[in-house]
Structure formats: structure tokens, C-alpha cells
Amino acid sequence: MAFGLLHQFLMGETIDAYQYFGAHFMVLEKMSQSQVTLKNGQVRTKMVKEKVPGVMFRLYAPLAQDVSVIGDFNSWNPETHKMTKIDDAGVFECFIPDVKQYESYKYHFKNARGVYVDKADPYAFFSEHRPLTSSRVFDIENFVWHDDLWCQRRTRNFDQPMSIYEMHLGSWLGKFDGRFLSYEEIADHLIHYVKELGHTHVELLPIYQHPFDGSWGYQATGFFAVDSKYGNPHQLMSFVDRLHQAGIGVIFDFAPVHFASDSFGLINFDGHAMYEYADDRKYTEWGSLQFNYGDNPVRSFLMSVVNYYLSYFHMDGVRIDAVSNLLFYAGNKERGQNSDGIEFCKRLNSLIHGRHSEVMMIAEDSSDFSGVTRPLEYGGVGFDYKWDLGWMNDTLKYFSKDPIYRKYEHHLLTFSMAYFYSENFILPLSHDEVVHGKGTIINKLHGDYEMKFQTIRNLYTYMWAHPGKKLNFMGNELASFDEWNESKSLPWILRTFPKHDSILRLVRDLNLIYKYEAAMHVEEYNPNGFNWLMVDNHDQSIFAFERKYQDSHLIFVFNMTSNYYDYIRIGAITPGTLEEIFNSEKDVYGGSNLYNGDLIRVQQEAGPEGRPCSFTIRLASNGALILKYKK
């Protein structure tokens, strides 16, 4: 590593640490003596350049001593390949000829406590599959991509539709003959399904190496090593490449807060708390180790992980997990702001956006910290988007109530728009809402079997109608009553039941309307495009609002009770003619087929809540409508 890059690493300012540390295939040129016999019989010695293929191993371990590389290539003998300390900062290296792809290795050294340990490579690009724990040599170069057109066109344009299908690779289709499907095998089925649903992106739960499948990838042991149970790095590249060619973006989850406590991993790496805190912040609420994001080399390590997946795997964005723990100590506002974590977030967003101006930085943040998506130059933290967990909690709480009592909880559906324009929000119904005994989305909803299906149709329509990008976890579109289990496949048999398959049809149609109607995604973070039409009707629990952008002008109406209205008047601002383009109670969605078949006149007749115009419609029990102004 050039001195400048090493200095940047030690100062916490590089996103390229993986290009130097770890195991890299290379051809080393060295000078050797060669004897040449001249015509007169004399023998002379000359120096010649010799090219030697092999692998350069480099390790950062400031307090390590007597460091060796052990592996398949030297029968795990620590005396064969000793590493040389090349810098007082604690950088060791060793070039080993003729190392082969996939050979396993570890670093063997005496740590600061005088104990010899074997550690996996923190910068390894591949790892053995559990229960084995060694790193594996892998050449990540030379993959042939076919997504140039996609990469040229992608942008962080906030006016583009974004409907994300969040997924866990291992449990989407489940195992086949006792084994996990590979990245490519999953892509064979996923591409068709995501395009059928109409989602624009998939978001993958962490796809780096972790020792326990039940962790879903969040408690990792190898951050640069892709999850080996699905294949090698080139196979993941192929997965992304194929999705891009099909017009589907890919976002990955990254957890910079914590890592697994397995002894072969990062914990007490060189005998001291090298990656984690050394004080009472050492352990997180999950029992894992908390990264010390105030330590500069740790910052370089974590930021380089993000850059690695964006650069080598062409990811379109990254969701940063548990950002509230970075903004506040232990995510607790009462403990005060975490200056180290805030600085880390700002530095991460600055450097990543500087290198990848077209990718999205997304914060999963449950706090009310101000300016999470505000640009750095305006005093913000610099993320592009933030999950609106407040909207999620309020919405699910509202829909879980008996409709008789929803009039007392009216504010739960109106409050989100009071703060919506403070950040660039994504509306999530994520994996966190369908695990750990919380029940599935449909199970959370009030009512008997039939009412639950009415209500979930209403809920999803409300979600797509509400400003903000969309995220739905896999299986939500099937209206499954079985809570997600990471060790089981989604219950695909539900597609043979019309009630469940109709919910998938509803999600597909909502995605189509969302992408087609500019009013639903263009300038949605601009308050000029949104107006409440009916916001104070507590007694009937009916809501209505409009969204507009240029020629795209829509009105959304929601009946949150079981009452049916053959005739109800809704206020409006603009006169004209409306056409019903979506009704959650259509029979194709499993509904009663109570809809407005004729065009609807918006007359210049004062309506409820002081609106200058009004119109009348039929409104089904728990029904949701999308009405469009005709040109």
C-alpha cells in the first residue's frame, strides 16, 4: 500500500482497504541469477526477471507477534510461511507462490496476551461454509458483466418510482434436497416473479458470511466474504448482473453496529479490543460485539465493506441497519447523541457518494434525530432515504383496532403527513414485523377471516397511495397466516387459494398504477403535490386526499369501517370528471365487486370540511378507491 493510502486507512478516510489487505492473486517479479554459456565456452552469470504467480497475504494486527499464514498450501504448518512486519502501524505481509483458488487459510500469531491464536482473515473474499471456519482464497477479478446499460441509466433521482421487495435468500424458495439453492438458481425464479409483481428493486438481507443461519446474516464473521451457502462471489455477481439485465435493481443490507462473538472472528482480534469497544459499550442488546466506530481503522474497514459491494457487485444501494444506535448511545435518546457514530455516518455518506453518485444510502432509523436525509452541506447526516418506522407502527396499530373504536385513533393515520416532509421516507412493512411472535401482516388485522382480507386490501392500497417509496417483505403479498421462519420456504401453496392469490394480484396492480401515474412518485417529497380532502371525519372513519403532478391528478378514498355507503359525498378542490381506476373491492381481488362503473362528476358544490367542490360515490365496507381526473 502506498504511504498515502495507508495514512488514509489509519485516519479512517479510505473506502478501499480491501484492495490492499486480505489475500490477492498477483504475479510477482523477482530477479534471479541465471548462468549463460558463451560461444567461447565461458560461463557467465546474469540477472534475469522471473515472474512468479501466487497470492499476497496482508494483515493489519498492531499487537500481533510471530505472524504466519497457515493453510492447505502448507499443511497448516505455522513455520512454513512467516509474515514480515512492513510497517510500525502493524501491517504484515507474505507472498506465497502457487496458491490455488479455493484453498483454505487462517492467520496464526501470538496475540497481545501472549496466547497463540488462529484467526480468519477480516478481509477474506470467501469463507468455508459452517461449521468450518477458515477463510478461502478467491480471485474476485475478471467477472464479465453485461449490465452496462443499466449502470449508465441508474440514478438517485428521487422522482423515480421505487417499490422494494425485501427478501431472505435462503427461505424464499427454501432448500432443495437438503441444500440451499445457489445465487443463480434463485435468480432463475426470482426474476420472473419480481417482474410479475411489478417491484422495481429487491433488497437482500445481509449476504456476507455469518456462522448461524438463524441470525439472517446480521451477526457476521466475514464482512467481505459473500454467504458461502449460496455460492462464491462470482455467483453473486451473476445474480446481480441478471437482475440488472431484467431491469431490477438490487439493494443490500449492512449492519455496521455489531458483529458475531465467535472466537475465530473479529473479537479481541490481536489480543485487545481492536474492532469493538473496550468499555461497557462492548456488547450490544443482541449479545454481539459493538463496533468501535470512533476508531479510525475500524471506520475505514466498515466504509470499505460498503464500497466493496457497490464496486465489485454493482449494487444499487445499501440499507444501513440500526442507525439509531449510531446516532444515540444504544439507540437511546436519553443517553445523548453519539458523536462517534454521527461522524462515521457523515463520513460514510460523503465518501460513498463521492465515489458512487448514482447509488442510494438508506437509513433504517427508529429515532427522531433531525436531518438524517438532509445533505451534508446543509448540516444533515447525508443519507438519501430513511425508513418511516413511525408510519409503520401507527398504521399497523390503527388497522389492528376494531373499526368501532377507530374513530378514537383517527390521529394514527393523519399524523404521518404532519412530519412526512422533514425527511425522504420509505414506507416499510419489513421482516421485523413478521417474526418473533409478532404475527404476519394479515394476522395483525382486526376481524374474522373475510374482514381480514378486506382490511389487508385496504391497508396495501393506503400504503401505495401514501407519499413515500415502498418496501414490502416477501410473503406479505401472499397474505400468509404463518409467521416467517428463516428455515422454511414461503408457503407457495397459498397461490392455489383464490383469496391469497388475489392479494398478489392487488399488489401487482398497485405497483403498475404507482409506476404509471407520475402523481404517485414524482416530487412526492414536495408538499405542493398533496392535499387532504377529508381528514376530520372521525365518526365515519373515512379519509380522502389528492395527489397531483402536471396531468396526473388522483383522488384516494378510504373507508376504515364495515359500514357500506351507497351514496356518500366527498369534498374536492378541482371540478372535473373522475374515473375509478382501482377499487380494492373488485372481485379480481377477492372483493364484493361493489364499484363505481360510471364516470363521476366533481361539481362546484361545496363539500364536507369546507372544500369548494364535491362528488358522490359508492363506497364498500373497508373499501379503498383510486379515482383519476380525466383530461
Q: What pLDDT score does 123 carry?
A: 98
Whether residue 590 lies inside any domain: the answer is: yes
How much is the pLDDT for 63? 97
Sheet holding 576-583, edge to edge: 530-534, 542-549, 552-559, 624-629, 576-583, 600-602
Determine the pLDDT at residue 3.
Answer: 62
* Residue 415 CA to its chain's centroid (Å): 26
Which position among 16, 103, 321, 517 bears the catalytic label?
Answer: 321
User: Is position 173 within any domain?
Assistant: yes
Domain limits for position 98: 19-136
Instruction: Count up the domains in the chain and report the number.
Output: 3
Examine the domain organization and report whether 502 and 533 are in the same domain: no
Q: Which residues contact 291 (CB under 8 A, 6 or more apart)?
A: 256, 257, 258, 259, 275, 276, 298, 302
* CATH code: domain of residue 603: 2.60.40.1180
The answer to whether residue 5 is domain-embedded is no
Check: pTM over 0.85? Answer yes or no: yes
Beta strand spans in 274-342 (E): 289-290, 317-320
Domain shared by 365 and 393, yes or no: yes
Is residue 157 a part of any domain in this protein? no
Tell me, yes or no, whether 503 and 356 share the same domain: yes
Residue 383 lies in a domain: yes
Residue bearing cell 416499510: 428
pLDDT at 36: 66
- Beta strand 360-363 with 576-583: parallel, antiparallel or unpaired? unpaired
Residues 502 and 594 in one domain: no
How far is 21 from 125, CA to CA, in rounded Å? 11
Q: How many CA atoms lie within 13 A of 61 on its CB side?
A: 34
| pLDDT-flagged residues of the chain (< 70) | 1-3, 31-39, 41, 47-48
Q: What is the pLDDT of residue 44?
A: 72
The values of phi and psi at residue 413, to 5°, are -95, -10
User: 498-516 vs 183-197: helix axis angle to the nearest 10?
Assistant: 80
Identify the pLDDT of residue 213.
Answer: 77
CATH number, residue 391: 3.20.20.80
Write down the pLDDT at residue 116. Answer: 97
> What per-residue confidence (pLDDT) applies to 277?
93
Same domain, 200 and 277: yes
Grid-cell match 364484493, residue found: 592
Q: What is the DSSP code (8-state) at residue 463?
A: H
Nearest CA to 500 out of 441, 560, 431, 563 is that of 441
Active-site residue (options: 262, 295, 364, 580): 364
pLDDT tens per residue across span 33-86? 666 666 676 777 776 678 889 999 999 999 999 999 999 999 999 999 999 999
Q: Specify the pLDDT at position 219.
A: 86
Question: Does 177 fall in a domain?
Answer: yes
Q: What is the CATH number of the domain that holds 73?
A: 2.60.40.10
**Are residue 252 and residue 391 in the same domain, yes or no?**
yes
pLDDT value for 316: 97
Is residue 489 located within the same domain as residue 540?
A: no
For residues 161 and 126, give the distance between their C-alpha atoms in angstroms, rounded to a whole number. 35
Is 16 an active-site residue?
A: no
To the query of whether residue 98 is one of the catalytic residues in this protein, the response is no
